[in-house]
Amino acid sequence: MIDWEAQYLVADRLGLRGYKPKHFEECRYIWKTFVPKQGQADCVQGELLREIEKLRHEACSNGNINWDDNFAWFCGNIYDILAGPGVFGPDELKAIREILGFLKENGEYAGAYAEGKIDDSECDPIKLAYTDDDLYDYLADAAAEFYLKNKKPIAYEHKDFIYR
């Protein structure tokens, strides 16, 4: 029997289960202003939100079945940007790190399943993808808070190895 509640352990531990976005309008502005229709953004603020939404889309729409090194890199890059000086305190950074680690763990599990390293009979569907919006909304709000403290666009150097 599958313990469906187990998928919420991280959200529950962080007090984020059912989290509702606080900065929807700011995220909408960032998306419309700084995120291109295709490819990487030219500024950090746009790229940050783009990568968060790529993680959400891959998990919620695809069950992380296309997980690869780009998505794993996004998890580290998002943290590195948000961990920059002066934006978040230690408790917020700890939550962000735990969320990104959890999402990456899910993605790597799904990737192993897609590659046949995990058999159907052994697969735990809870570990494939986190598909509730709460953790992604929390990260998107963090991107908005980063923007609110850094309204002037910060140039982002496109990465040749990123194709997502």
Q: What pLDDT digit, counting tens, does each position of 46-100 carry?
A: 999 999 999 999 999 999 999 999 999 999 999 999 998 889 999 999 999 999 9
The type of residue at 4 is W
Please write the tens of the pLDDT for every residue from 49-60. Answer: 999 999 999 999
- Close Cβ partners of 157 (under 8 Å, ≥ 6 residues apart): none
pLDDT of residue 86: 83
Q: What is the pLDDT of residue 4?
A: 77
Question: Which of 135-157 are b and which e, b meaning 16 or more Cβ less than 10 Å from the residue's Cβ?
Answer: bbbbbbbbbbbbbeebeeebebe
For the cut 70, the answer to whether the pLDDT of residue 18 exceeds it is yes
Number of residues in the chain = 164
Rounded to two decimals, the pTM is 0.95
Instruction: For residues 146 and 82, give the distance between their C-alpha atoms in angstroms, rounded to a whole number.
Output: 7
pLDDT band at residue 6 under the 50/70/90 scheme: confident
Q: Where are the alpha helices (DSSP H) in 35-89?
A: 44-62, 69-82
Sorted by sequence, the CB contacts under 8 Å of residue 99 that are 6+ apart come out as 10, 14, 16, 135, 138, 139
